[in-house]
Structure 1
Amino acid sequence: MNITDPEQAPPLVLIVDDEKFTRLQLRLAMEQVGYQVVETSNGEEALAAYTQVQPDIVLLDALMPAMDGFTCSRVLQTLPGGDRTPILMITALEDQESVDRAFAAGATDYITKPIHWAVLRQRVYRLLQVSRATEKLRQQTERARVSEERLRLALDAAHMGTWDWDLLNNKISYSATAATNMGVAEAAVDTYESFLESVHPEDRQVLEQIINTAIAQQTDYNVEFRVVWADGSIHWIAARGQVYYDETDTAIRMTGINMDITDRKHAEAELQRQTLRSQLFADITLKIRRSLHIEEILQTTVTEVQRLLQCDRVVLFQLSSDGSGKVVKEEVVPGCTAIIGRNLHDPCFEKQYLDKYIHGHISCVADIYNSEVQQCYIDFLQQFQVVANLVVPIFIKEKLWGLLIAHQCDHPRQWSSFEVELLRQLSDQIGIALAQAQLLADETRQRQELTRANAELQQFASVASHDLQEPLRKIQAFGNRLKTMYGDLLNDQGRDYLDRMQNAAQRMQALIDDLLTLSRIATRAQPFVPVNLTQIAQEVLSDLEILIQQTNGRVMLCELPTIDADALQMRQLLQNLIGNALKFHQPEQPPIVKIYSQALADWQSTEGEESLDAKCEIIIEDNGIGFDEKYLDRIFNVFQRLHSRSEYEGTGMGLAICRKIAERHGGSITAMSKPMQGAKFIVTLPIKHNRGD
């Protein structure tokens, strides 16, 4: 979906993030919607790039080495045009102090990690819209100011747009331009009283005071006021004048110029409204985002919107698929009917109209009794004393969640474009906040389920280590006694039964031990510390010395890296993989095992130091019996065997334990093999971890 304006040049986005993968994701997200992208990896590069390319928006990571995003944002504000360039702060921090710090540093908005890419693209699009609109208004205001100054100079030089007030005879004469500005006939002669009648009633008293002060105190007359023309239209006038006195200091004449500054005033008012809207929007958005709890978000929304619009009622209506729904939150003034918690069904709310909201339709009705509203809808709204309403849809991840509705109950109301646009933008923010709250709720539920699963796993481990092993030890002990004391009394079949019983008990013991090992990978894990894998591998080979001699095997160990890991689990991982390589050898062929490592392409950062996302591969390669790769997914599952116990002993859990260990370290394990052509097991592990993981 391309959301750029085809009539304008594609916006230029400056991405600032020290993580290469994150920068790549951000670039793809921006280029998919037609934006141009410039990347930098730290704050210093960002400042240099900003000066050179003058981007339209900056996507700024909050936490970076050297110069963090907060510092970079503050410095950006001091660069030419930096205070007008929107900055979207990207951060994993959600505490109030970090949010306040981001806005204090000059950030226009912020988004938290993990990033929801559809949300990011919409956020960037809205910020660019507001930035361009504000810049356009600023340019218009500047052009109006320059034009006005030129006009002032022209009027001063040519005495155009002049007026002359004869104080003794109370007559005011205007030049053609001055008369046009005042809305009177060209070259008209007026009186002071009729002049005051043309002034807007709200400005009349103040204007009289200024005029009287200028005459009494012999000061210059410089004022801006409104006049009402004969057609009822209102215009702004800027007037400057000077009072003349006779030899007795009696005021006899006042002359000056006037000009129509209506366009400038309208531009200033629009810019002020835009600034106010941006400020109010930021304030409400901040209040909404201070909480990720859905109930608090919704209540804050209706409270703030009602306070801002000064309307009679604001409700959040959560929709069902059939068009019915429930008022989940409400803010209503005294005297109006409260409808909180009511399940409502509008008989006129047909599927066709519901589809309009699904496609983003906004309903704006100034007076339900003087509009093209159906009678059944009027009857429905009359239950709640509604005379005028403004309805804006709310979406969560492009799915219609409900409606944000403002009601005026005591009289008709003409909703301004400012109010409509403000509610539309707020509905976007509500949808984003609801999506984030939903993600938090899902994450909390998953975390609780994981905690419960770990508790059950720990309980199983406790049962396995005590209740299951105790009867097993008795079977083994009494089996040994039977064999020692009565073995000679048994016939061949009896001794065979006894041997089978003891072998089954041994297999059960090995199975329980492996299950305990698997369960304790997470529940009894040790903190990550630097682990020399070469040393660990040498110790494992020492433990496997007898097996190596029995199979006439040969193991070649190359230098392995030092990584942040759990040393005990690394020993278990290597012991399982090397032991399998020795065990599954071809008949009459001694096993040959190679153990080596290789760095991935991005093992080192550009400065030559290992980065947090650097990884390595540990490879165990053998010349054994191998396997068909169609069983690749199967061999890493619990209790999975490709051969019978009579061929190769084991519980079928060794590779499952290896996978569990690799995943706990943020890595993975896979294999490459062909039948009777050996196997190559590849374990991918991060080099660095945050200590204590």
Structure 2
Amino acid sequence: MILIVDDRPENILPLKKILELHGFLVDTAESGEEALRKILKAAYSVIILDVQMPEMDGFEVANAISGFSKARDTSIIFLSAVNTEKKFITKGYTAGGIDYLTKPVDPDILALKVKTLHKLYEQQQELRMVQDSLRREIDIRKQAQEQLAGQLRELQAILASLPEIAFTVTPDGRIEYVNEHWYRYAVDAATFPVTHPDDNLRMALAKALTGGTGFVREVRLRDHHSGEYRHHLLRLMPIRQHTQQVSRWIGTFTDIHPQKQAAELLEQEVALRTRELLLNNAELERTNHELQQFTWVVSHDLKEPLRKIQLLNDHIREKYLKENNEAVSYLERVIRSSARMARLIDDLLAYTHLSAPEVFRPTDLNALLAELLLDFDEPIRRSGAEIIIGKLPVIDTIPVRIRQVFQNLISNALKFVQPGQPPVIRIHAERIATKAIDGELAATGPFCRIVVQDNGIGFDEKFLDRIFVIFQRLHSQTSYEGTGIGLAIAKKNMAKHQGLISAQSRPGEGASFILILPVRQTDPAQHP
């Protein structure tokens, strides 16, 4: 913007029109005081100042303007129609004027001078902006350098306090800083510790520095004094600036020699224990085989005299004691005891056979139960039992073992009935998502939940754990027959199938036995 200062409006108007025709914004003032007020509020590139003005002439105004920091880059052109002598011109330049023109003024010359001075003003403003920007950039960089130097000092203090070898490396691979532990394995701060030739560290380290990635590796460093190689864990991590460019690397060597020695001793101990375990397993397998043979022989030898006792007792009862009711009663008790002893031997033999490996195969549980119920035809007919079986899935099982589970559960349901009430047995299945008794339903879940429910005498659930323990009974033998092995066999068979078995019951309200079985056996090998 251009400011024209003259006390006579008729002088201002033509100058203003001329400058406006050349595209300048023009402001005016009719006194020195008004000019000073405007200069305090706005910035002017050029001031055209009349010398002869009342109260405050042009020289006084120029002297006052020179004290304004806002106008330090403003150029002043003096105009005068009277004071054309050399002393006045000199005084104008001394007062801070850039030029001194006498009236009448050539408008084209004035416009050219204003253009030149205006352009010079704009260049000065741009230069000041660049200088200010550079000054701010220098201040920012100075602060950043001071901050970086402080961080570096703090980092070095931290590294110096570490109980392990610590160092920093510049992006070009030059060692920048080392702590005192470095000198145990290196001659000086500029030399890298000597590593074992088999570790091939230099090539891997150069690759990590080139790639800008972190580096972790076990190495062996040679002790500078003893010459012994000790195991260390090298960690080298890049420190990046906000531009993601690596500014330095921080590295540590952690002494893991004691742990390495302990690990080697542990490996030797594990190898020794493994050999011992293999020998013990072989011995155990041989002993188990011998035990199975012994069990078979013993059970056979025990059952043979029992069969003779039963046969002879039957013969004595029929031939010699028909008329002696008391003797027949005693003899029948002996026969029942012998039969119970025979069942106990059979159950024990079945229980010991559960450890033998067997193969899983797809099994239709509906077909298996249909075949099993034929064995219960007489007890079902005699008790008037009703058995309701829902749609059961085809799953991987050892058929003979899963048959034992259902056989024992159905046998118990037919045995533990409430007086005068025909037994009702319901069997149904559903797919679930997890191997849990209360697993959530899932149409394609990997597990199957089978519930065998009866309306029998039930039991108190505080005895739940007890009913699956071998020889544990909740009722006396005089009340209900049995050896106390059936549910223990069922539990062991379920474990062999990687499954679960549990029960829910209340006295007098029946019982529900819950089986959880995998639909597919993930490991086709035999389970223990």
TM-score relative to the length of structure 2 = 0.51
Report what 2:258 is aligned to: 424
**Paired residue type of 1:620:** V
1:501 aligns with 2:321: no
Deviation track 1:342-399 (CA, whole Å, cap 9, x = no partner) reads xxxxxxxxxxxxxxxxxxxxxxx969xxxxxxxxxxxxxxxxxxxx99999xxxxxxx
1:484 paired to 2:318: yes
Partners of 2:334 and 2:263 lie apart in 1 by 69
Name the amino acid aligned to 1:596: H
Q: 2:278 aligns with which of 427, 441, 444?
A: 444
Shift of 1:563: 1.7
Structure 1 residue 556 corresponds to structure 2 residue 388: yes
Output one character per residue of 1:134-192: Cα deviation in whole Å (capped at 9) or x when no partner: xx98x936433799xxxxxxxxxxxxxxxxxxxxxxxxxxxxxxxxxxxxxxxxxxxxx
Indicate the residue corresponding to 1:510 in structure 2.
343
2:169 partner SS: helix
Name which of 377, 384, 407 aligns with 1:575.
Answer: 407
Give the Cα separation in 2 of the matches to 1:278 and 1:506: 83
Partner of 1:458: 292
Structure 1 residues 549, 564: CA separation in 2 closer, same or farther (over 3 Å shift)? same
Amino acid in structure 2 at the alignment position of 1:685: L
Distance in 1, Cα, partners of 2:408 & 2:385: 16
Give the match for residue 627 of structure 1.
459
Amino acid corresponding to residue 258 of structure 2 in structure 1:
R
**Which of 473, 495, 498 lines up with 1:663 in the alignment?**
495
Q: Give the conservation status (yes or no) of the 8 Å contact 2:431–2:443.
A: no
Residue identity opposite 1:469 in structure 2: K
Q: Distance in 2 between matches of 1:595 and 1:463?
A: 38
What code does the residue aligned with 1:467 have?
A: D
How far apart are 1:492 and its partner, in Å?
Answer: 2.2
Structure-2 separation of matches of 1:569 and 1:272: 62
- Report how far residue 549 of structure 1 moved: 2.1
Contact 2:196 2:229 (8 Å CA) reproduced: no
User: Take 1:277 and 1:421, find their aligned partners in 2: how far apart are those partners?
Assistant: 19
User: Matches of 1:442 and 1:627 in 2, distance apart?
Assistant: 47
**Given that residues 626 and 673 in structure 1 are in contact (C-alpha distance below 8 angstroms), is that contact kept between their aligned partners in structure 2?**
yes
In 1, distance between residues paired with 2:476 and 2:345?
19
Q: 2:394, 2:349 → 1: CA distance?
A: 28
Change (3 A) 1:685 1:441: farther
Residues 402-440 of structure 1 deviation map (CA, whole Å, 9 limit, x = unaligned)? xxxxxxxxxxxxxxx97x836235225325525644763
Unaligned runs of 5+ residues in structure 1 are 1-135, 148-232, 236-261, 280-304, 312-364, 368-387, 393-416
Spell out, residue by residue over 1:295-327, the C-alpha distance to the aligned partner (whole angstroms, 9 max, x if none): xxxxxxxxxx9xx8999xxxxxxxxxxxxxxxx
CA shift for structure 1 position 677: 1.6
Give, in whole Å, the separation in 1 of the partners of 2:288 and 2:463: 29
Structure 2 CA distance for partners of 1:234 and 1:568, relative to 1, 3 Å: closer
Instruction: Give the partner amino acid of 1:509.
Output: A
CA shift digits 1:165-221 (9 cap, x unpaired) = xxxxxxxxxxxxxxxxxxxxxxxxxxxxxxxxxxxxxxxxxxxxxxxxxxxxxxxxx
Shift of 1:272: 8.8
Aligned partner of 1:513: which letter?
D
For the 8 Å contact 2:194–2:222, the answer to whether it is kept is no
Which ranges of structure 2 fall in alignment gaps of 5 or more residues?
1-165, 177-185, 205-218, 232-251, 436-441
Alignment of 1:583-662 (within 5 A): 583-602=415-434, 614-662=446-494
Q: Which residue of 1 aligns with 2:155?
A: none
Alignment of 1:313-328 (within 5 A): none
Partner Cα distance (1:500, 1:587) in 2: 24
SS for the counterpart of 1:477 is helix
- Distance of 2:282 and 2:497 partners within structure 1: 22
Cα distance change of structure 1 residues 577 and 442 upon mapping to structure 2, 3 Å threshold: farther
Distance 1:512 1:429, change over 3 A: same
**Shift in CA distance, 598/309, structure 1 to aligned 2, threshold 3 Å:** same
Aligned-residue Cα RMSD (Å) equals 4.2
Q: Judge conservation of contact 2:453–2:513 (CA < 8 Å) in 1.
A: yes
What does 1:23-34 align with in structure 2 at a 5 Å threshold? Answer: none
CA distance in 2, matches of 1:471, 1:277: 84
Say whether 1:531 aligns with 2:375.
no
The 1-side partners of 2:389 and 2:428 are apart by 6
CA distance in 2, matches of 1:432, 1:278: 32
Residue 601 of structure 1 deviates from its aligned partner by: 1.7
1 CA distance for matches of 2:193 and 2:229?
27
Larger RCO (CA within 8 A; separation ≥ 6): 2
Give the number of aligned pairs.
Answer: 311
Q: Distance in 1 between matches of 2:175 and 2:195?
A: 18
Partners of 1:277 and 1:422 within 8 A in 2: no
Give the residue type in structure 2 aligned to 1:471.
P
Cα deviation, residue 656, structure 1? 1.2
Aligned equivalents of 1:676, 1:234: Cα separation in 2: 89
Output the amino acid matched with 2:336. N
SS at match of 2:172: helix
TM-superposition CA deviations, 1:236-287 (whole Å, max 9, x none) = xxxxxxxxxxxxxxxxxxxxxxxxxx95xx46978999754999xxxxxxxx
> In 1, Cα distance between the equivalents of 2:510 and 2:202?
70
Question: What CA distance in whole angstroms lies between the structure 1 residues aligned with 2:375 and 2:307?
Answer: 25
Alpha-carbon contact 1:457-1:519 (below 8 Å) kept = no
TM-score (norm 1): 0.39
1:511 & 1:146 partners in 2: Cα distance? 83
The residue correspondences of 1:232-251 to structure 2 (distance < 5 A) are none
Please give the residue correspondences for 1:349-388 in structure 2 after superposition, counting only pairs within 5 Å. Answer: none
| CA distance in 2 between partners of 1:548 and 1:629 (Å) | 27
What percent identity do the matched residue pairs reach? 37
